Structure 1
Amino acid sequence: MSQSVAKRRRVQRSPTPEYKLDDDDGDSYVPYVPVAQRRQAKLAKLTSWGANPDKGKASRQEEEQEEKEGEEREEERLREKARKERTLLMEAQEVHDRKAAEDAKKTTEEKEEEQDAEILAAIASRRKLASDLELAKGVQYTEPMKTSWKPPRFIQERSDEEHRRLREKYHILVEGDNIPPPIENFTDMKVPEPFVKFLKSKRITTPTPIQLQGIPTAFAGRDMIGIAFTGSGKTLAFCLPLIMFALEEETRLPFTRGEGPVGVILCPSRELASQTYENVLTWTAALSTGGRYPQLNTLLCIGGISMGEQSHVLNKGLHVVVATPGRLIDMLEKKKFTFDNCKYLCMDEADRMIDLGFEDDVRNIMSFFRHQRQTLLFSATMPRKIQDFAQQSLVKPILVNVGRAGAANLDVLQVVEYVKQEAKMVYLLECLQKTPPPVIIFSENKNEVDDIQEYLLLKGVEAVAIHGSKTQEERQYAIKSFKSGAKDVMVASGVASKGLDFNDIQHVIIFSMPKEIEDYVHQIGRTGRSGKTGIATTFVNMNTPEQTLLDLKYLLMEAGQKVPLFLMSIEDPRAAQGASLKGCPVCGGLGHGISNCPKLEDAQRRQMASHRGADDRGGY
């Protein structure tokens, strides 16, 4: 049995394959014959055909044709060999040479534009300003929020040409679709009478340009980018719509414990958040005067303070939250309140918040929203880079711009003086004599802030200091005592330059000129607020970078200010190259391009430092 199976297996086995080592086309293979050998063969044929002239002539023609074809084959073979021997380096060199020839034909301006476009494309690859949950699910809102507000009929019936003339009158630039009309008084905006009376008691009778267009835009539920110079009333432009939305919700159905908030206002610094919170408290209290309108509850949510002190607010329905990002995330994660019904988000000094690295925190905060929200971004300096980023992140946004983004307040007299480094302290005392107190002195260095304060105290000047290394109690004491008039001078780092509003500041002294012109614009903007005038004195010397001085020169020229001779003598290298002098899209500075932007350099330096820190931590 086993023998028969074995036999059957042998029969069914496939035959052993036979491998043919020679190619099938071996018979057609024609070996290469050198030219000299072919010529000898040709001579032999000619001698053998000499007896027949006709045959010899035909043979010669045939041989010549073969020889020509052989030479062509030889040349082709040599070309193929040369082509295979070409290196990638040679090809790269040829590409480089071609590019160099093309670049030689381009103007300097075209080269700079291409370089700027490449850098902008590299930094524009950031994610949209939306929550990670929305990005993951592909949630995208296409229509703006709907509200119950409508402008009065007589304003609705105005023509587009009338709206355009009104905007031109107040130097308002707008971009977007279906833009709400500008309204010249608060009553026509349908602001409650108690609030209008309160504003009149504070000598605010008509809205400022940013309020004239910004408040109707926010009332209509539109996403918005608001840009206006310092001291122009931006805080009221974004707080009043939130107060009105909260009032409408509370009137319809009163809030109970655990409900709310209706909206949140995000600020980059504790001081700015505290100031905004105090304004909201004042305005909501004025609205509820007389008992006609209900009292609204507002929560301040910042680091450095005990949230237990505001437990009485958390125990009631919550309408408005004013916060810094870190503490707000902490409160949301602990479920002290939720954003389940929150539908209004405003970022004050939005460009500074994004530049300071709060972008991921903002996305985290957005992830707590359960529904569509109305988003508003406000700032005095919002470069094109941030505007483009915001345009992608908002829903059919409207850009409201009063003047150039990053331009200085025209109500501030800017005085730039050349003062040697060792003479600054002595000259500071002379500058303090220009105007009566209160006066703010800015320095970029924390140690220098403390040194200036100590020097002034020794000279008998009542001075306080504020910078990032101070405790929250020290910072609050400095601001409170300065605002109340107990102290005449406040020495500050950049922390006090963003949005803080101090009454009747007539003089700002910039002890050390900041590298970024945006910071300078914010610092001088602490004076000349709400239509008042002020003076800003700036010290510069050989330690000030030439590029910063060039930015300052163009800013003074734009504002129609007196430009000192030493600034006028600084030449712009771009002008020598014949390039058009456009502002930097990253920081708005007029004296440099994106390739030389100090803000971009600082951002790259911070990013590299964070990467190095992450690498170091990875070793543990």
Structure 2
Amino acid sequence: MSKASNDDIASDLDSYLDNVDEYVPLKYRNDGISKVYEKLNVVLPNKELIERKKQKEQTAEILIGPQAPLSLVDQTVDLKKRHIIKDKTEEDRQREEEEALLEAMARKKKLTSAFEFAQGVTYTEPLKTRQEDKTTMRQDLKIIVDGVDIPPPLLTFEAMRFPKPIYKYLAAKKITTPSLIQMQGLPIVLSGRDMIGIAFTGSGKTLAFSLPLLMFALEQEIKLPLEKSEFPIGMILAPSRELAQQTYNGIIEMSQALVDGGYPEIRALLCIGGISMQEQQRVLNMGMHIIVATPGRLQDMLQKKKFELDNCKYICLDEADRMIGMGFEDDIRNIMSFFKHQRQTLLFSATMPAKIQEFAESALVKPVIVNVSRSGAASLDVIQNVEYVKQEMRVVYLLDCLQKTSPPVLIFAENKSDVDNIMEYLLLKGVEAVSIHGSKSQDERDYAIKSFRAKKKDVLVATDVASKGLDFSEIKHVINFDMPRDIEDYVHRIGRTGRSGKTGLATTFVNMNSSDQILLDLKHLLLEAKQNIPPFLLSIHDPSDKYRQEGQALDMSLGCAFCGGLGHRILDCPKLEAQRRSEQSGKRNTGDFASNDY
């Protein structure tokens, strides 16, 4: 056998030994070597084979793994001798056991039902039905919301988890189901969020902000009762005395219902002009939970340090657009400066123009806007009749209008002198009537409101002091002796009827003294509410008529961003112009509201 042949055999042998991919016992390795030789049908002398093995071991590095010429046990011993592998300590062994245990636990099956495990069901997406349900529910209810992380609407008072005496109180008031603003507004307010609430007049806004404040005060009183001379937890501001009085009476009634049900007393302070604060001294001395006030009187008492707002963390502005937009803005800013902590702020109104919303949002923290009607829209439950009546014939025509419905009836007039003249005329005609306006004393105003509410009087004649927020039960008819100066006041006036889902009638007198701008606003309001439009309103030049002639729908967002009127733009807004004149003269708004709050 030639030398070359032996070299070839040795090369094949080396290739075999180097390319073994896994551990092979020595016995089978030798069998493999023998098969190489058998395949070549040659025999290599044992001496030369042994010599080649020694030479390979001397020249090759010690390998680790299945390709090494040593067994795994010998490899480990060798590595330890060369200090490549260190002996494991007790701590190392314990750590390895812990890691192995954790790995075994992680490999266990996830928590699942037997049915899902048997069927091999695997879920990869989280549930999304709750969010979809909220959206669908709001769409069905026609509730428009804007904000982040908005609580879902609740369709029953029971779902809101109020104390049982509150349910009895609501049942006694014949309130069995929350209104739309209450369904969405109450969960938001109870969750502590800032909120802007826009809803029709008579939709139950007062309950949506007064009941949560009562619950916050009750929670505080149960946790840590108020001591003598401690100060309010929350406050409600209203633009007129009568509205503040009405809100205060509602809170007192609910508080008394809680006391009758075994709960602690929640004390409220009425802070308005025209009443003696000596009557309120008991509440001041015992410590008060809630303040209901008009801005002027509240500011005066804060400046005189009658009480402080160190603990006050809740403030609601009722009819907020009136207070922000018509002269009370500085008073409210000054009141805010007396707060010591962050507060929950709520703004509620039936008319909240975009300009006022933007201002309000800048002062609120991530507010939620809840809108159950277009801001400034009239209630669809009110039938609106607009009649052209000459200036000198209005008083006489009043008697004919009073025959249209049974009492009680509300008559609104712009001027105090007109209120007095109407009142005198009705009394001469034998009509049981009372009147209120800013020049009357508080006792006279209280008597008029109480006797009208008690149905001892059939007719109440008033300026716009009675148009904002006051709730009179079962008003059949509202008569506007004249068209108010802006469309917002008109909406609030006619909103005294058609409340709580009942139908009402509103009759408005217009004549040559009414400006074309306010009549255009009235025309568009009637169009929106699908009311009958008299011919004299249709005859007024209207720039938007070209859209209808071209078959285009009128965009309601094209109205005034300041007052919400649909018949003019902000550059032509009479309300804005009046406010500018007032600011230039250095006076507060000359309207009846501004002069009545002290």
Q: TM-score band (shorter)?
A: 0.7 to 0.9
Partner residue, 2:461:
491
Are 2:567 and 1:608 aligned? no
Kept in 1, the 8 Å contact 2:165–2:258? The answer is: yes
Partner residue, 1:588:
564
1:198 deviates by 1.8
Tell me which of 461, 464, 477 is aligned to 2:434.
464
Partner residue, 1:35:
none
Map residues 156-175 of structure 1 onto 2, 5 A cutoff: 159-175=130-146
1:575 deviates by 4.3
Partner residue, 2:47:
none
Partner residue, 2:341:
371
Q: Deviation per CA, 1:227-272, whole angstroms, max 9, x where unpaired? A: 0010000000000110000000000011111113110000111111
Are 2:459 and 1:480 aligned? no
Tell me which of 149, 154, 179 is aligned to 2:150.
179
Kept in 1, the 8 Å contact 2:203–2:499? The answer is: yes
Are 2:228 and 1:252 aligned? no
1:157 deviates by 8.6
Kept in 2, the 8 Å contact 1:574–1:580? The answer is: no
**Structure 1 stretches of 4+ moved >3 Å:** 574-581
**Structure 1 vs Structure 2 CA RMSD:** 1.8
Partner residue, 2:237:
266
1:535 deviates by 0.4
1:390 deviates by 0.6
Are 2:266 and 1:285 aligned? no
Tell me which of 324, 329, 353 is aligned to 2:299.
329
Partner residue, 1:213:
184
Tell me which of 149, 163, 170 is aligned to 1:192.
163
* Partner Cα separation in structure 2 for residue 523 and residue 208 of structure 1: 21
1:335 deviates by 2.4
Are 2:575 and 1:599 aligned? yes
Are 2:213 and 1:242 aligned? yes
* Partner Cα separation in structure 1 for residue 382 and residue 555 of structure 2: 28
* Partner Cα separation in structure 2 for residue 490 and residue 176 of structure 1: 41
* Partner Cα separation in structure 2 for residue 467 and residue 179 of structure 1: 42
Q: Deviation per CA, 1:189-246, whole angstroms, max 9, x where unpaired? A: 1111210122122221111000000000000100000000100000000001100000
Map residues 83-102 of structure 1 onto 2, 5 A cutoff: none
Where do 5+ consecutive residues of structure 2 fail to align? Answer: 1-126, 590-598
Pick the structure with greater CA Rg: 2
TM-score when normalising by structure 1: 0.72
Partner residue, 1:438:
408
Seen in structure 2, the aligned counterparts of structure 1 residues 265 and 487 have a Cα distance that, compared at 3 Å, is: same
1:547 deviates by 1.4
1:300 deviates by 0.2
* 3-state SS of 2:192 partner: coil
* Partner Cα separation in structure 1 for residue 147 and residue 347 of structure 2: 15
Percentage identity across paired residues of the two chains: 64
Seen in structure 2, the aligned counterparts of structure 1 residues 171 and 336 have a Cα distance that, compared at 3 Å, is: same
* Partner Cα separation in structure 2 for residue 172 and residue 204 of structure 1: 20
The letter for the 2-side match of 1:224 is: M
Q: Deviation per CA, 1:26-51, whole angstroms, max 9, x where unpaired? A: xxxxxxxxxxxxxxxxxxxxxxxxxx
The letter for the 2-side match of 1:384 is: A
Q: Deviation per CA, 1:280-329, whole angstroms, max 9, x where unpaired? A: 101111122231x1111010000111000111111112111000111112
Q: Deviation per CA, 1:501-543, whole angstroms, max 9, x where unpaired? A: 1111110000101120000000000001111111001111121
Seen in structure 2, the aligned counterparts of structure 1 residues 327 and 597 have a Cα distance that, compared at 3 Å, is: same
The letter for the 2-side match of 1:371 is: H
Kept in 2, the 8 Å contact 1:187–1:193? The answer is: no
* Partner Cα separation in structure 2 for residue 367 and residue 282 of structure 1: 31
* 3-state SS of 1:535 partner: strand
Partner residue, 1:538:
508
The letter for the 1-side match of 2:283 is: V
* Partner Cα separation in structure 1 for residue 171 and residue 315 of structure 2: 28
1:373 deviates by 0.4
* Partner Cα separation in structure 1 for residue 217 and residue 555 of structure 2: 49
Partner residue, 1:23:
none
Kept in 1, the 8 Å contact 2:582–2:588? The answer is: no
Tell me which of 192, 196, 200 is aligned to 1:225.
196
Partner residue, 1:361:
331
* Partner Cα separation in structure 1 for residue 365 and residue 566 of structure 2: 30
1:421 deviates by 1.3
